[in-house]
Structure 1
């Protein structure tokens, strides 16, 4: 007669050792991917807000004529923007590109310079702060590395594993 094993009430029929580890392994990957994605998006939104504020603050130098009287060039104005980037200013000079231009009207075609393939041509960016009463457009492009590569598909890409954050402001210079 075969030997039958007797189970107590509530005791599982099979071995359950390691089941929690397997279940955790199945759930952990999507959970951590989602968690890192949320952190990455939060960082991108925070950098976007900081960049927007930095452009507004540094643009005041152009609007009031201070940048023109101090003979700012593209590098000096970029440094003024990067000084406003708080915790992100350590590598701002390498990641940021600034373009300051005089426009004849706000309805002008003010698309940024692009190369023959339609890609943003960062080498043609300039600094022209104008004179009193000129209409000015100030633009910033900031390359931000991404930890979660799947997120780069949903935004403006700046190359593998990077996105391009942009900030723009337009104003009329004060009389100076």
Structure 2
């Protein structure tokens, strides 16, 4: 009885045991917050890089910059411009896909774009590069196959194109200026 009473009154190691109980959920949520913040930051960098690179399409400078007769080479050059504008190498250019489409009105532009991450797979088969002409409506999209760092349960809810991957999509729509 004396041994049990002494065991109940002892406080040595209680903090270590309590920390051990709380540490796993605490660090899991901490890493989930960091993972989500990094994903949102990368998405914002993608949006801003696409917006800045699209100014070449908006102002007609793209006619002098993307001069190949092969649309795939022009798309690659546009993708490289997006990557060059991204700070600290946040965007992996080998996993970045671009789509530049031309429409006659904004309703068609809204209805003509589909979700490239539908059905849990990344589908970029219909992506192309179309050189905009003056006063045309342009939809420029950049899709990044973003690899999540954590594979534990917090990241599984973020993945939308397979285990450990999420499609980050940036889109900008505008009417090209009346350039000559």
Structures share fold, TM-score greater than 0.5:
yes
TMscore range, shorter length: 0.7 to 0.9
**What SS does the aligned partner of 1:124 have?**
coil
Q: 2:162 aligns with which of 146, 149, 159?
A: 159
1:172 maps onto 2:175 in alignment: yes
Equivalent residue, structure 2, for 1:74 = 75
Specify whether residues 145 and 94 from structure 1 end up closer, same or farther in structure 2 by C-alpha distance, changes over 3 A only.
same
If you compute each CA radius of gyration, which structure gives the higher value, 1 or 2? 1
Q: Is the 8 A contact 1:102 1:137 kept in 2?
A: yes
Name the CA distance, whole Å, in 1 between partners of 2:63 and 2:120: 32
Give the Å deviation of 1:123. Answer: 3.0
Specify whether residues 114 and 57 from structure 1 end up closer, same or farther in structure 2 by C-alpha distance, changes over 3 A only.
closer
Deviation readout 1:100-154 (Å, 9 max, x if unpaired): 0101211112223769x79542133111122111110001111222233434454
Which structure 1 residue ranges, 4+ long, deviate > 6 Å from structure 2?
A: none
What is the alpha-carbon root mean square deviation over aligned residues?
A: 2.9
1:8-157 to 2 correspondences below 5 Å: 13-70=8-65, 71=67, 73-88=74-89, 92-108=92-108, 109-112=111-114, 119-149=121-151, 150-155=153-158, 157=160
Name the CA distance, whole Å, in 1 between partners of 2:50 and 2:171: 7
**Structure 2 unaligned residues grouped into runs of 5+:** 69-73
Name the CA distance, whole Å, in 1 between partners of 2:116 and 2:171: 17
Name the CA distance, whole Å, in 1 between partners of 2:158 and 2:22: 27
Write 1 or 2 for the structure with the bigger share of helix.
Answer: 2
**Structure 1 unaligned residues grouped into runs of 5+:** none
Q: Is the 8 A contact 1:152 1:162 kept in 2?
A: no
Specify whether residues 99 and 67 from structure 1 end up closer, same or farther in structure 2 by C-alpha distance, changes over 3 A only.
same
Aligned residues: 169
**What SS does the aligned partner of 2:129 have?**
coil
